[in-house]
Amino acid sequence: MELNQLSSQIIKAAGNYLRLSKKPLGLLINFNEAMLKDVITRIINAPPEAADCLP
């Protein structure tokens, strides 16, 4: 499974976990691939106004 093939349900669940735990950033990692650097997804828990200024 590639980065762009991650289920939206998994990404939403990770976002909910970040919001409930009041964490600003999270990483979603798929350990089922040979190259770990290719399957790391950064999830940002920020209000829409603040998300515009994040890199």
**Residue 48 binned pLDDT confidence (cut-offs 50, 70, 90):** low
Is the pLDDT reported for residue 7 higher than 80? no
Task: Indicate left, alpha or beta for 26 from its phi (over 0: left) and psi (-120 to 50: alpha).
Answer: beta
Judge contact between 46 and 8, C-beta under 8 A: no
Report, as an integer, the average pLDDT of 26-52. 79
Q: Residue ranges per domain, the chain?
A: 3-48
* Share of residues in the chain with pLDDT > 70 (%): 73
**What predicted TM-score, i.e. pTM, was given to this entire model?**
0.62
Write down the residue that tokens 């950033």 correspond to. 25
Best CA proximity match to 46, nearest among 23, 29, 27: 23
Is the pLDDT reported for residue 54 higher than 80? no
Higher-pLDDT residue of 21 and 32 is 21
